[in-house]
Amino acid sequence: MSDDVSAPARVAVTEAAAELLVRLRAKHGDLMFHQSGGCCDGSSPMCYPDGDFLTGDADVHLGDLAVDEFTVPVWMSRNQFEYWKHTHLTIDVVPGRGAGFSVEAPEGVRFLIRSRLFTDEEWAALEGA
């Protein structure tokens, strides 16, 4: 999902989450994710109509999820990224209620981050990219 084919993607999406994104896009238009931290529904990815959440220099663009015919950008606070950057993130979905203003909650489901460590090869490629 990066332009640089040699660097591995930092983010991915499961099939179930991708199907949900297709339905949500039909309802809300273009979408974006911002990974949250902290209390309650924290440490969860928040899905918003694209541009509803203002990103800036305080954020890192982790990549774009390629879903169907469109893409969904994924963002995270720069200071949070420092603690997360050694892990690959996959956006999944589970039954649940959610909280916050994430657009999937009314569907009775909640996006969820699944993480794995980058392999040494991937990490070297990311560091070099």
Partner 1 sequence: MTVYAAPGTDGAIATYRARYDHWIGGEYVPPANGQYFENPSPVTGRTFTEVARGDADDIDRALDAAHGAAPAWGRTSVTERAIILNKIADRMEEHLEELAVAETWENGKPVRETLNADMPLAIDHFRYFAGAIRAQEGSISEIDGDTIAYHFHEPLGVVGQIIPWNFPILMAVWKLAPALAAGNAVVLKPAEQTPASILYLMELIADLLPPGVVNVVNGFGAEAGKPLASSPRIRKIAFTGETTTGRLIMQYASQNIIPVTLELGGKSPNIFFGDVAAARDAYYDKALEGFTMFALNQGEVCTCPSRALIQSDIYGDFLADAVARTEAVKQGNPLDTDTMIGAQASNDQLEKILSYFEIGRAEGAKVLTGGHRAELDGDLAGGYYVTPTIFEGRNEMRVFQEEIFGPVVAVTQFADFDDAIKIANDTLYGLGAGVWSRSGETAYRAGRAIEAGRVWTNNYHAYPAAAAFGGYKGSGVGRENHKMMLDHYQQTKNLLVSYSPQKLGFF
Residues at the site binding partner 1, with contacts judged by CB under 8 A? 34-44, 46, 48, 52-54, 77, 79-80, 83-84, 87, 94-103, 105-106, 110, 112-117
68 vs 83, beta carbon nearer partner 1: 83
Distance, CA of 11 to CA of 65 (rounded, Å): 7
| Residue 25 backbone dihedrals phi, psi, to 5 degrees | -70, -35
In the complex, the smallest distance separating the C-beta of residue 69 from partner 1, rounded to whole angstroms, is: 24
Identify residue 91 by its one-letter amino acid code: I
56 vs 69, beta carbon nearer partner 1: 56
65 vs 104, beta carbon nearer partner 1: 104
Residues 6+ apart with CB under 8 A from 118: 8, 86, 87, 88, 126
In the complex, the smallest distance separating the C-beta of residue 21 from partner 1, rounded to whole angstroms, is: 15
In the complex, the smallest distance separating the C-beta of residue 3 from partner 1, rounded to whole angstroms, is: 26
Distance, CA of 43 to CA of 24 (rounded, Å): 21
In the complex, the smallest distance separating the C-beta of residue 95 from partner 1, rounded to whole angstroms, is: 5
Using CB atoms within 10 Å of the CB of residue 69, give its burial: 0 to 12 exposed, 13 to 18 middle, 19+ buried.
exposed
4 vs 94, beta carbon nearer partner 1: 94
